[in-house]
Amino acid sequence: MATLGTLSRGWTSAEAWLPLGWRMSGLHRFEDTWTRLAKGPTFDDYVSGSGLHAEQAERRLSDRLRERRGPTTGP
């Protein structure tokens, strides 16, 4: 089981990569899979990450948000 500190670090990391206007939606468990969701300003604009452990879902969501947001520095 993940510690609260591990989940907090994962949440903070994912939240840091949120594009403008996005928000974290929650951490859900479906049978043996944890899913983390971030929602954009429109209904069909979302990104998720999943894994067997909550911290895996957090990490995967951070990776997907980072890919979607793109570089944070100039060319």
Q: Write the DSSP assignment of 19-74 as a string of letters.
A: PTT-EEEEEEEETTEEEEEEE-SSTT-EEEEEESSHHHHHHHHHHHHHHHH--SS-
For 3-29, the pLDDT digits (tens) are: 555 556 666 777 878 888 889 888 899
Q: Lowest mean pLDDT of 10-14, 15-19, 40-44, 63-67, name the range.
A: 10-14
Angle at 21 between CA 27 and CA 54, to 5 degrees: 15
In a domain? residue 46: yes
In a domain? residue 26: yes
In a domain? residue 39: yes
Which pLDDT does position 27 carry in this prediction?
87
Tally of structural domains, the chain:
1
Average pLDDT in the 59-75 region?
79
In a domain? residue 75: no
* CATH code, domain carrying 54: 3.30.160
In a domain? residue 14: yes
Which pLDDT does position 50 carry in this prediction?
94
In a domain? residue 74: no
Which pLDDT does position 37 carry in this prediction?
92
